[in-house]
Chains A and B, each alone.
Chain A
């Protein structure tokens, strides 16, 4: 059982849609992360929030917009995505940044 919860588990969206991925952790961790993972590749870092502030943006296109409403929640807002953005989006948290990561089960996104 994971202590990092992600919703939805699956999402299919068109290129003109706006959707959001949500992540929640109740471990009191101070760092939260978004990773993107394509098949047979390792997770690729997108964003890091440290103490609710964006600390790392790995040159991610603006069609991905992160938000950290509080220390337990992390959102990823999606708008005008491309088919190549289809991937598994993983949320993770760590007690301090950087540190041992605890991953959610991921949101599998398909962009049509």
Chain B
């Protein structure tokens, strides 16, 4: 089983829709999580960190559920410009405290 797993998608949604991605992790002692966004042929860019209490930044909300070992990203009122690949990243304890990337979820927002 992969340490960090995501549904690769693609998720095709109409503009204005609400879309949610989940990411599961295998190591219950994992420390920190992030969501990164990567546009085609560009570098990943930090979208938001994920806190246990949940955090919101405009149309984006991230949640961490330690009991079920998953993190989520909710995008409200999706825009065409939200089309990208969303990467879930965790700092997993054990194995050198490395950042571990999920496979990424592709989002396509359509007119």
Contact = CB atoms under 8 A, between A and B. Distances in A.
Interface residues of B, number: 21
Interface-centre pick from B46, B97, B99 (highest chain A CB count, 10 A): B99
A81 interface: no
Given A90-B43, A100-B34, A42 B97 contact: no
Interface in B65-111: 87, 89, 91, 96-99, 101-104
A14 interface: no
What's the interface size class on A, roughly?
20 to 34
Interface in A41-76: 41-45, 48, 55-56
A2 B44 CA distance: 11
A100 B87 CA distance: 13
Where chain B touches its partner, the secondary structure class is strand
A56 B46 contact: no
Given A56-B98, A98-B91, A42 B103 contact: yes
B104 A45 contact: no
A42 B101 contact: yes
Contacts of A45: 98-99
Contacts of B32: 99
A105 interface: yes
B98 A103 contact: no
Given A56-B96, A98-B97, A100-B49, A2 B102 contact: no
A88 B41 CA distance: 9
B27 to A, nearest CB: 13
Contacts of B36: 101
Given A56-B96, A98-B91, A98-B98, A43 B46 contact: no
* Top 5 A-B residue pairs of the complex, sorted by shortest distance between their CB atoms: A42-B101, A103-B43, A98-B91, A98-B99, A98-B97
20 contacts: A2-B43, A41-B103, A42-B87, A42-B101, A42-B102, A42-B103, A42-B104, A43-B44, A45-B98, A45-B99, A90-B43, A98-B97, A99-B91, A100-B46, A101-B34, A101-B99, A102-B46, A103-B45, A104-B43, A105-B42
